[in-house]
Structure 1
Amino acid sequence: MSDATEATPRRRRGRPRAGARSGASGKAAIIRAATQEFADRGYEAASLRAIARRAGVDSALVHHYFENKADLFTATLGAPLRPDRAITAILAGPRDEVGTSIVRYLLTQLEDQKAQARVVAILRTAVGSGPGSRMLKEFLVREVFQRLAAASSSDDADLRANLAAAQLVGVLLTRFVLRLEPIASTPTEELVRRVGPVIQWHLFGSGEPPRPLDATVHRSE
């Protein structure tokens, strides 16, 4: 899946007030303040208004540069991917392709070495125990997992979303952080074929988990 999967951000709202810091210095001040605010308060409790106060700028300047809190948060991380936007676009597509679309999006985006290196660093932070771990988990729960749960709309929707997330994180850690073979060198489409249906089953399925589409062929060879 290409970058087109991610929803295009809307035009920025707001204009800087007269006398307010603007340009690169104003944007940099907002990102520095946001980094501190997210570290101190976590993703859930932090607000754009509080970040503006900390940066010493008007709230309109924050909205001028950043569409919403998720937009600003990912800027503080230098995140090469926007899973929140991708999930929105994927869930707007065919329901029976959600699992494979998620897996394909993640793996194809991380074929880029720079993106891969940054995501590995973010993953290492996420599995730690510091403030960075807390705010990353809150971001993922709020902007990704809850949307997956809402799409499932079943009695155990939260569990389904968490099981899907556990599968995805396991694949990313194994492939890009631990670099365990053979998963580290398995072609992307092979992983999509094998993992995508499992993600789909966690989110929407019932009964026994699916097998790869050509599992019978592989066993008979």
Structure 2
Amino acid sequence: MDPGRERKRPGRPPGTSDTRERILDSARELFAANGIDKTSIRAVAARAGVDPALVHHYYGTKQQLFAAAIHIPIDPMQVIGPLRETPVEELGRKLPSLLLPLWDNELRTGFIATLRSMLAGTDVGLFRSFLQEVIAVEIGSRVDNPPGSGRVRVQFVASQLLGVVMARYILELDPFKSIPVEQIAETIAPNLQRYLTGELPGFG
């Protein structure tokens, strides 16, 4: 049997854990150097020395590959999809209502590990890419009024959410760490909405 044909048989891709890691390492290098938009599955495959189909088999879409590269244990579309369907005037409430329960439950361990890695100085560039190229593109373009303010608005929102994360999961401030996520979401939603759609000093 032709080994080449066997390697390409659907559902039985070749590769070991070393192959998976080589793909992931190649993805991290390219994402960090070029960002998400300018990195293709084909480029990652070429750097790793594998067929693009193998990258898709192990990691799915480019967004899923990026999530794996920065150790986010979910498909970013689980967050982006609902945000796309949310009216602009409701984003301030939707964001914490969507993110906090994820962080507080099944994703907590992986999320905290990623955050600690960021604080230690690793993966910062990749996480910044995710924030600026995924979240900023998805939300920033919708709240870019006046023009040029969208990216800054998203960064103000990010600073608020990261503050919650630090207080709740890293510093574990009491009683903040025990407050129900719904209560936190309701409390910070008006401020997030103001960042997104309210008057922004220095613009307009």
Query: Does the pair score TM above 0.5?
Result: yes
CA positional deviation for 1:108 = 1.0
Q: Structure 2 residue aligned with 1:33, among 11, 15, 22?
A: 22
**Structure 2 unpaired stretches of 5+:** none
Map residues 3-14 of structure 1 onto 2, 5 A cutoff.
Answer: none
| Distance change >3 Å, CA 62–CA 82, structure 1 → 2 | closer
Provide the C-alpha distance between the structure 2 equivalents of 1:128 and 1:151, rounded to a whole number of angstroms: 33
**Where does structure 1 differ by over 6 angstroms across 4 or more consecutive aligned residues?**
none
Q: Summarize the Cα distance change of 1:79–1:160 in structure 2 as closer, same or farther, 3 Å threshold.
A: same
Q: Distance in 2 between matches of 1:27 and 1:97?
A: 45
- Looking at structure 2, the residues matched to 84 and 128 of structure 1 have their Cα atoms a distance apart, in angstroms, of 27
Which residues of structure 1 form unaligned runs of 5+? 1-16, 209-221
Q: CA RMSD in A?
A: 2.7
Return the letter of the residue paired with 1:53: A
In structure 2, the CA distance between the partners of 1:29 and 1:54, relative to structure 1 (3 Å rule), is farther
Is 2:181 the partner of 1:188?
yes
**CA pair 184-178 structure 1, distance change in 2 beyond 3 A:** same
| Partner deviation per Cα, 1:73-127 (whole Å, 9 max, x = no partner) | 2134442334454133223123322111110111111232x52111011112223
Q: Measured at CA, do residues 53 and 23 of structure 1 come closer, stay the same or move farther in structure 2, by a change above 3 Å? A: same
* TM-score normalised over the length of structure 1: 0.73
Percent identity (aligned):
26
Mark the CA change 1:142 to 1:27 in structure 2 (over 3 Å): closer, same or farther. farther
Which of 137, 140, 152 is 1:146 aligned to?
A: 137
Corresponding residue for residue 198 of structure 2:
205
What is the TM-score with the length of structure 2 in the denominator? 0.79
